[in-house]
Amino acid sequence: MVGKLLKYDLKRQGKVVLVYDLIVILGAVVFRIFNNGTKVQSLLVGLFALLLMGCVLVPILHAWYDAIKHIYKDEGYLTNTLPIKTRTIYLSHWSSSMILLLMSIVCMCLCIMIGIGTSNSIHSMIDMAAQMMGMTSLHLIVLTVIVFYFEVAFGLSAGYTGIVIGYSAYKDKAAKAVLSGIVCYMVGSILSIAALYGYGKLFDPSLLSMFSDEAGNPAIVAPIFYMGTVYYIIVCVCLNLISLKKLSNGIELE
């Protein structure tokens, strides 16, 4: 049932995200055309940076808005009359958001390549960083994109859990949803630092250099990225379990 709903959610949510991604690609092409050191280029830098930031913000903000609209507000009256459980609706919506977020981040990477990625100085910086970390440039880029995706996915999931908790309240639902989402994100972030410190204490003392004034070995970046990816996946699962548990108590439509 989740698969059937997922097709509908992807089609509905994807319209906004796809249009925005196409705009960003167009912006990257324009930026590349005027990438010649002129005053026009300097004006486009800020706009291009904002467009790239939007590749992360637009799918997240639209996902949260769409979830509230189709689960708790006007559209929720229709959605919740379907012969399926609310948790199924939630899982479909969250899965759709994760897919569209991945698509948008891939679009962001593509636009960076179009706009500035062929610069020799950029290539040199990436090669140097990769050598210091003991990996290839491709390995570094792929690993960075993966950990970035799951870190952003953690923020997306924290927002979903905040919505479920906030809209289960009797009043001030929106405010409590925002507050709950922030708390979930902050707790998850603090626990990530604690987990990193604990792992360093128990298994890899070299990671503890991050918590001191000593210059750390760049080679520790790779294990931190691997650990971060696993951690964010676990936290996303835990946040969804909290949301599903809360939804099992029923919801109140506005």
Same domain, 210 and 242: yes
Same domain, 40 and 111: yes
Opening angle at CA 151, ends 212 and 240, nearest 5:
125
Number of structural domains, the chain?
2
User: What pLDDT score does 237 carry?
Assistant: 97
User: What pLDDT score does 36 carry?
Assistant: 65
User: What pLDDT score does 192 carry?
Assistant: 92
User: What pLDDT score does 40 carry?
Assistant: 62
What is the rounded CA–CA span in Å between residue 217 and residue 207?
A: 9
Same domain, 124 and 187: yes
User: What pLDDT score does 82 carry?
Assistant: 61
Same domain, 48 and 173: no
Residue 29 belongs to domain spanning: 1-118
Same domain, 177 and 112: no
Intervals of the chain under pLDDT 50: 77
Residue 207 near residue 220, CB atoms below 8 Å = yes
User: What pLDDT score does 38 carry?
Assistant: 61
Task: Show which of 99, 118, 137 is a domain's final residue.
Answer: 118
Torsion region of 63: left, alpha or beta (phi above 0 gives left; psi -120 to 50 gives alpha): alpha
What is the rounded CA–CA span in Å between residue 96 and residue 87?
A: 14
Task: Show which of 98, 118, 138 is a domain's final residue.
Answer: 118
Residue 66 near residue 116, CB atoms below 8 Å = no
User: What pLDDT score does 106 carry?
Assistant: 95
Task: Show which of 60, 86, 118 is a domain's final residue.
Answer: 118
Residue 70 near residue 92, CB atoms below 8 Å = no
Same domain, 75 and 151: no
Same domain, 90 and 191: no
